[in-house]
Amino acid sequence: MDVHASLRGVTRIYPARAGRPPLHALGPLDLDLRRGEFLSVVGPSGCGKSTLLDVVAGLALPSAGTVTFEGQPVLGRVPEGIGVVFQEDASFPWLTVEDNVAFGLRRAGTDPAEVRRRVDYALGFMGLADFARAYPAQLSGGMRQRVCIARTLVLRPRLILLDEPFGALDQQTRLLMGDELLRLWRETGATVMLITHALDEANLLSDRIGVMSARPGVWIETVQTGWPRDRDSTLAARPNFGAVSARLWASIRGESIKALGQAREGAGR
C-alpha cells in the first residue's frame, strides 16, 4: 500500500482560554491516506472534523501523536503539495475573482501566460467565466465557495483537503460539482480527503468513508464503498447505494444524538 499521508495517535486539545477550560476536540486516532484514494470523513456536528483537517494540513500541531506527508513529518507548517478548501468563505474580498484564483500561482512565481491559461480553464470549469472581473461581494455564497475551490485546484495539489466545500450550494449544483470533482480526481490522480455531513454525498464520491464519533472525535467505523474509479452521480440509482447510506446512518445516529446532548449541556452552563 502506498501511504500518502498518515496520522499516528493524534489528539488535539484546545488549551484553556479566557474563562474556558481546555477542550479535548479530537482523537486519539490513526489514519492512513492511500495515494490517489478518495476518502470522506463524516461525523456529527462539532466532533472535530475541521480540527482533523487542520492537523493533517499542518495548520495546527497535534497535542500528541505524529503526522507525516509523503514520508516527511509535518511540523506546524503546511508542506508543499497540499491544497485546502475551507468550510468558511476564504475568498479575498479585495481581489477580483480572477485575481483570487491566480493568487497562489502568482505567489509561486508561475509564468504569466501559464497563469492566464490555468485561471481561464479553472474559471470555465467552475462556471465563473462571466464573473472573472467581479468582486466576491457581488457573488452568492455558493459562487464564492467555487472561487475558493478554483483557487486551490489551479495549484494542482497532490493532496486536496476539502471541508464542506459544497455546504453553501443547492442540491442540484452540489451533485454536478461532485461529478466535476470526481472527474478532476481521476484526471489528476490526486489524493482527496473530503469532510462532509451529507451521508449520500460521502457515499457517492468516496472509495472509503471514515465515520467519526461525537467529540472527542475518534473513528467508529470505516466503510469501503467498492465503487469503480470511473463513476458519477448516476451511482445513486444502484440498488446497493441505499444499503451503504443506511449503514452510515446506522453507525452515526447514536453519535449524533450524543453530540446534540453535548451541545445542550454546553448551552445549559
Partner 1 sequence: MADGASALAAAERQDRLEAWGGVALTVLSLAALWQGLHYLAGDSAIASLPATLRETWHLLSGPRYWPHFRETMSAFLWALLIAVTGGVGIGVALGGHRLSGEVAEPVLVALYSIPKVTLYPVVLLFFGIGLNAKIAFGALHGVIPVAIFAMNAVRNVNPTWLRTAATMNLGPLQTARHILVPATIPEIFSGLRIGLSLTLLGVMIGELFASQRGIGHLLMTSIEVHDVRRIMAVVLIVSVLAVTLNALMLAIDRRLHRRV
Partner 2 sequence: MTKAAWIRLALLAAAIGGLEGACRAGWLPRTAIIPPTEMAAGGWRAVASGELNEDMAQTFSVVAIAIMVSLAGGFLVGFAIHGRPRLRRALDPFLGAYYAIPHFAFYPLLIVLFGLGPGPLIALAVMFGVVAMIVATMNGLDRVPRVLGKTAQVMRLTGTDELWRVRLPAALPHLFAGVKLAIAYSFIGVIAGEFILSTKGIGHAIAFAYDNFDARSMYGLILFVLLLVASVNLTLHTVEQRLIQRRSR
Ligand X SMILES: Nc1ncnc2c1ncn2[C@@H]1O[C@H](COP(=O)(O)OP(=O)(O)OP(=O)(O)O)[C@@H](O)[C@H]1O
Report, in angstroms and rounded to the nearest whole number, the Rg of the chain calculated over CA atoms.
19
Smallest gap from residue 163 Cβ to partner 2 (A): 10
**Of 6, 40, 51, 213, which lies in the binding site for ligand X, with binding defined by CB under 6 A?**
51
Smallest gap from residue 153 Cβ to partner 2 (A): 13
Q: Closer CB to partner 2, residue 70 or residue 221?
A: 70
93's contact among ligand X, Mg ion, partner 1, none, with CB below 5 to 8 A by partner kind, is none
**Of 3, 8, 13, 23, which lies in the binding site for ligand X, with binding defined by CB under 6 A?**
23
Query: Does the N-terminal peptide bond of residue 21 adopt cis geometry, omega within 30 degrees of 0?
Result: no
- Which residues are within 8 A (CB) of 130 and not within 5 positions of it... i.e. 6 or more apart? none
Interface characters, 85-124, with partner 2 (x: CB under 8 A): -xxxxx-xxx--------xx--x-----------------
Cell of 229: 474509479
Q: Residue holding cell 482560554?
A: 17
**Of 84, 181, 204, 212, which lies in the binding site for partner 2, with binding defined by CB under 8 A?**
84
Smallest gap from residue 3 Cβ to partner 1 (A): 38
Are the CB atoms for 63 and 138 separated by under 8 Å?
no
Of residues 81, 71, 68, 70, the one with CA closest to residue 8: 68
- Tell me the number of residues near partner 1 by CB under 8 A: 8
Site for partner 1 in 2-61 (CB under 8 A): 16, 18-22
* Site for partner 1 contains 107 (CB under 8 A): no
Smallest gap from residue 148 Cβ to ligand X (A): 16
74/127 Cα distance (integer angstroms): 35
Nearest to Mg ion by Cβ — which residue? 50
Q: Closer CB to partner 1, residue 17 or residue 107?
A: 17
- Is residue 233 packed enough to be buried (19+ CB in 10 Å), middle (13-18) or exposed (0-12)? middle
CA 208 centroid distance within chain: 14
Site for partner 2 in 142-161 (CB under 8 A): 152, 155
Site for ligand X in 86-145 (CB under 6 A): 87
Contact positions vs partner 1 (CB under 8 A): 16, 18-22, 265, 269
Contact positions vs partner 2 (CB under 8 A): 54, 57-59, 77-78, 80, 82-84, 86-90, 92-94, 103-104, 107, 135-137, 152, 155
Contact positions vs ligand X (CB under 6 A): 14, 23, 25, 43, 45-51, 87, 197, 215
